Amino acid sequence: MMKRIYFDNASTTPLLPEVIDVMSDVMKNHFGNPSSIHFHGRNAKAIIEECRKKVAGLLKASIGEIYFTSCATEANNMVLKGAVEDLNVSRIISVNTEHHCVLHTLEYLKSKKVEVILLSVDANGFISLDELEILLKEEKKTLASVMYANNEVGTIQEIEKISALCKEHNTYFHCDAVQAIGKFPIDVSKTYFSFLSASAHKFHGPKGIGFLYMNGDNIIKPMIYGGAQERNMRAGTENIICIAGMTKALEMAYEEIEDRKQKILDLRSYFMESLSQEFEDIVFNGSQSYPYLYTVLSVSFPPSDKVALLMFNLDIAGISASSGSACSSGVESDSHVLQAIGHPTERKTIRFSFSHLNTKEEVDTVIEKLKTMTPVMAN
């Protein structure tokens, strides 16, 4: 069988063997319901609380500020809806390059008469801090929701400055940190966040688990009602297997953060150099001045008949990457993020995204295969 190359780590990452070991142990030996008060229940509960302590420790949060959720989509929904319903927020300021789980929740809230302002971005994907500040000066109870790192083009917003502005203007600050957690050392004791969302499957943990950091001052009401799990914030028997797997994955990501970063940065530069040498008129989307999300490289190829089926041809050639287009009613168009940065629609974009498990040999193979699919540099 053909050995496939996986360059789609911004979509999801493979589970690490150490994570699988921890999850297997929980599956085999700790099946109790954490709400039961007998031995098995107490044992399961202890695992969850130990995980909460570790996750909180990594982010420098208090233990009571971490809530496990089924995914980041859930955490984002909880915050946006909860801020309106429970914190009397009348206005949400966000960005037109956010993930759909934020944008679609905001559309829903707009239909419920909440004022929603979507900031636009420049060609590199940055919002204007001046524009944000002008809005924050208005006397309205506001939540600003700005993602840390963009999942499609890798731009990292000026989070420290945005956080400082929100603090200065008494504004709640939510950050979708899904792509950044485990890659950048986020410290909630130093940077002001009211809420921060994360998802395990982006840092080599399992799917179906995430967490919300909620600053102790901003308690919203639960989105799901039922039992008293997650300190009454999220009812439903806890996914202890995935909580344990996510915690192990996050611990490993923090321990190896610098080594992984260096390896992926080298790989990314090597890929960029090879692409620039071999192919005509290619453009890299998103900000290329560090810090950027080093796991993501969004490449735009010039228009040609050859590139029309690029994603499809890469897949046939054994390479999993991601397309920069969205398909609506059978018509392909640039994704909302590419449109927001003013990407020319006739060009074809592929997002390659890496993990520390990728190699330069894989890059070489991808370059060789790409040469048969796109216009190469004339000699």
Q: Which of 194, 199, 298, 322 binds ligand PLP (CB under 6 A)?
A: 199
User: Does residue 204 bind ligand PLP (CB under 6 A)?
Assistant: no
Q: Which part of the chain contacts ligand PLP (CB under 6 A), choosing from 51-59, 112-120, 175-183, 264-272?
A: 175-183
Shortest CB 147 distance to ligand PLP, Å: 5
Our CB check for ligand PLP shows the closer of 125 and 210 to be: 210
Our CB check for ligand PLP shows the closer of 152 and 362 to be: 152
Query: Which of 170, 365, 134, 172 is closest to 271 using CA atoms?
Result: 365
Beta strand 195-199 pairing with 172-176: parallel
| Residue in this structure with the two tokens 């909460």, named with its chain if needed | 52
Applying the rule CB under 6 A, the residues between 76 and 105 that interact with ligand PLP are: 99, 101
Told to judge if 71 belongs to the known catalytic residues of this protein, a careful annotator would answer: no
Torsion of CA 134, 130, 94, 174, to 10 degrees: -90
Active-site residue identified among 51, 71, 166, 327: 327
Task: Give every CB contact of residue 138 below 8 A, 6+ residues apart in sequence.
Answer: none
Compute the distance between CA of residue 180 and CA of residue 158 in angstroms, rounded to an integer: 13
Shortest CB 217 distance to ligand PLP, Å: 24
Beta strand 322-323 pairing with 283-285: unpaired
Q: Which of 71, 84, 127, 214 binds ligand PLP (CB under 6 A)?
A: 71
Compute φ and ψ for 53, nearest 5 degrees.
Answer: -65, -40
Q: Which part of the chain contacts ligand PLP (CB under 6 A), choosing from 71-79, 260-268, 271-279, 367-375?
A: 71-79
User: Does residue 210 bind ligand PLP (CB under 6 A)?
Assistant: yes
Shortest CB 308 distance to ligand PLP, Å: 26
DSSP 246-308: HHHHHHHHHHTHHHHHHHHHHHHHHHHHHHHHHBSS-EEES--SSSB-TTEEEEEEPP-GGGT
Shortest CB 69 distance to ligand PLP, Å: 8
Q: Which part of the chain contacts ligand PLP (CB under 6 A), choosing from 35-43, 176-184, 221-229, 332-340?
A: 176-184
User: Does residue 72 bind ligand PLP (CB under 6 A)?
Assistant: yes
Q: Which part of the chain contacts ligand PLP (CB under 6 A), choosing from 89-97, 115-123, 154-162, 174-182?
A: 174-182
- How far, in Å, are 8, 26, 272, 367, 374 from residue 314 at the CA level? 12, 38, 18, 11, 11
Q: Which of 178, 186, 253, 267 binds ligand PLP (CB under 6 A)?
A: 178
DSSP 33-65: -TT--SHHHHHHHHHHHHHHHHHHHHHT--GGG
Query: Which of 125, 101, 98 is closest to 117 using CA atoms?
Result: 98
Compute the distance between CA of residue 227 and CA of residue 144 in angstroms, rounded to an integer: 31
Query: Which of 206, 207, 210 is closest to 196 using CA atoms?
Result: 210
CB 13, CB 246: distance < 8 Å: no
Our CB check for ligand PLP shows the closer of 149 and 373 to be: 149
Our CB check for ligand PLP shows the closer of 68 and 301 to be: 68
Compute the distance between CA of residue 337 and CA of residue 155 in angstroms, rounded to an integer: 11
Q: Which of 142, 145, 179, 355 binds ligand PLP (CB under 6 A)?
A: 179
User: Does residue 296 bind ligand PLP (CB under 6 A)?
Assistant: no
Q: Which of 176, 230, 334, 362 binds ligand PLP (CB under 6 A)?
A: 176
Our CB check for ligand PLP shows the closer of 73 and 335 to be: 73
Q: Which part of the chain contacts ligand PLP (CB under 6 A), choosing from 67-75, 181-189, 235-243, 282-290?
A: 67-75
| Residue in this structure with the two tokens 């009571």, named with its chain if needed | 64
Applying the rule CB under 6 A, the residues between 144 and 163 that interact with ligand PLP are: 147, 151
Query: Which of 12, 59, 70 is closest to 242 using CA atoms?
Result: 70
Shortest CB 293 distance to ligand PLP, Å: 10
Active centre residues (catalytic): 327
Residues that bind ligand PLP (CB under 6 A): 71-73, 99, 101, 147, 151, 176, 178-179, 199, 210
